[in-house]
Amino acid sequence: MKSILKDIGEVVWGPDSRLFRTLRDYINPGVYTRNWLDKKQAGYISPVKMFLIINLVYFLCLSLLHHFGLSFDTFVTPFESQMHNQHYSEFIHDSASSIISSTGIETEEFAEIYDDRVFAISNSLIIILSLIVTPILYLVNFRKSGLLYHHLTIGLYYGGFLLLLFLIYNILLSVILLILLYLNTVPGWLISEIFSNIILVSALLLFSFLAQVRMYKEQKFISFLKSVFIIFFFAFAGIIIYRFILFWITFSSVVLFS
């Protein structure tokens, strides 16, 4: 039995495995996509498959965290948060409330059905983030490459890295919170949205800067300016658009199929 497990471990995590080689270069900003686009992808998992693998692992881990009462709603935004805590909440609140009233379903019951469905739907829609960042990458880097395929590949890489970053952050934060809960002391700043945004946006900015330098081989100052532009739209506008689309698709599914 130990021999079998060892063999399986070597296939998945051994230095010669495709997953190991891909993940090793994936977390090294810009290396994976540069090699892929330069046709040096021997032994790599494709960008689409890698994105889907990370997507699956992210939502499996999210389910596990939710099981232990630790919930992070960056991509799985519950009904209450959609109606009251988003930038567009005031815009959608009245029309959504009116539609709910016409269905004859109580708001509390509607919210429960919505929250049950949003997890599965968000798993399918997360690729929207990669599609959103693709035209931004094309806009700021079209002189380096006019091929949309290149920017779409890099967009998938951005989306996959974002999920990977949020996964690692959520796991680390969950472990820290469990320890602090055991010690009966949880500082408010640790679970504040501002603190999370600072950590995640800083990490994304560093990732984007290094990726720009390595993928497009530009001067560091120009790469930094482009990275600020990309991350602003990716981390803020992109997530807002994603949550808005997620809300109406999930909302419509509850209205039509309940």
Instruction: Please give the tally of structural domains in the chain.
Output: 1
What confidence category does residue 253 fall into, taking pLDDT thresholds of 50, 70 and 90?
very high
pLDDT band at 237 (very low <50, low <70, confident <90, very high): confident
7 is a domain residue: no
Long-range contacts of 219-225 (CB under 8 A, 24+ apart): none
| Spatial CA neighbour of 190 closest among 205, 202, 175, 203 | 175
Boundaries of domain holding 209: 47-256
**pLDDT tens digit sequence for 27-74:** 999 999 988 988 887 778 889 889 988 988 888 887 777 776 666 656
More confident residue, 6 or 240: 240
Q: How far apart are the first and last CA of the chain?
A: 48
In a domain, 82, yes or no: yes
Contacts of 37 (CB under 8 A, 6+ apart): 150, 153, 215
- 3-class DSSP assignment, residue 227: helix
In a domain, 64, yes or no: yes
Nearest residue to 125 (alpha-carbon basis) of 256, 204, 45, 243: 243
Q: Is residue 233 part of a domain?
A: yes
Residue 17 lies in a domain: no
Q: Within a domain: residue 85?
A: yes
Alpha-carbon distance of 170 to 60, in angstroms, equals 13
pTM of the entire structure?
0.80
Rounded Cα gap, residues 240 and 7, in angstroms? 44
pLDDT tens for 159-173 read: 899 888 888 888 888
Is 198 inside any structural domain? yes
| Residue-level pLDDT at 217 | 81
Residue 8 inside a domain? The answer is no
> What radius of gyration do the chain's Cα atoms show?
20
Query: Residue 72: which residues within 8 A CB-CB, separation 6 or more?
Result: 62, 65, 166, 170, 173
Mean pLDDT of the chain: 84
pLDDT tens-place string over residues 74-130: 678 889 999 998 989 999 999 999 999 998 899 999 999 999 898 888 877 878 878
Q: Which residues contact 153 (CB under 8 A, 6 or more apart)?
A: 33, 36, 37, 47
CB proximity list for 190: less than 8 A, separation 6 or greater: 173, 176, 177, 180
The answer to whether residue 240 scores a pLDDT higher than 60 is yes
How many H helices and E strands in the chain?
12, 0
Residue 189, Cβ density class (10 Å: 0-12 exposed, 13-18 middle, ≥19 buried):
exposed
- CA-based nearest residue to 159, from 171, 167, 170, 148: 167
